[in-house]
Amino acid sequence: MRTTLSLDDDIAAQLEQLRARGDRSFRQLVNDVLRAGLAHLGREDPGPRGPFTRPVSLGAPRLPDVDDVTEALAITEGESYR
């Protein structure tokens, strides 16, 4: 299939560097790189990239239930909140 492909300058430069190091044509190099990239993207389970956060124990909650606002205020501010 013949098509027009617009490449970002940095990608074109990397492809040109790879082409200069080997004996493949630009067309063959682009096809090989696309095949490798598609195979990588097509893996079923790429696995986690790494921990973005680490779990930390925050301890027990200070208030057992905040549905009862009156009780929550009494616990946090004492009975003088009224």
Q: What is the pLDDT of residue 81?
A: 64
> Does a structural domain hold residue 55?
no
Q: What is the pLDDT of residue 66?
A: 76
Tens digit of pLDDT for each residue in 27-82?
Answer: 999 999 999 999 888 777 666 677 778 888 988 877 777 788 888 888 788 777 66
User: What is the phi/psi pair of residue 66, to 5°?
Assistant: -105, 10
Q: What is the pLDDT of residue 46?
A: 60
CA atoms within 13 A on the CB side of 70: 1
> Does a structural domain hold residue 50?
no
> Does a structural domain hold residue 54?
no
Counted domains in the chain: 1
As given in the structure block, the two tokens for residue 3 are: 């098509």
CA distance 61 to 80: 23
Task: List the end-to-end C-alpha distance of the chain, in Å, as a whole number.
Answer: 78
Sign (positive or negative) of CA dihedral 72, 77, 79, 82: negative
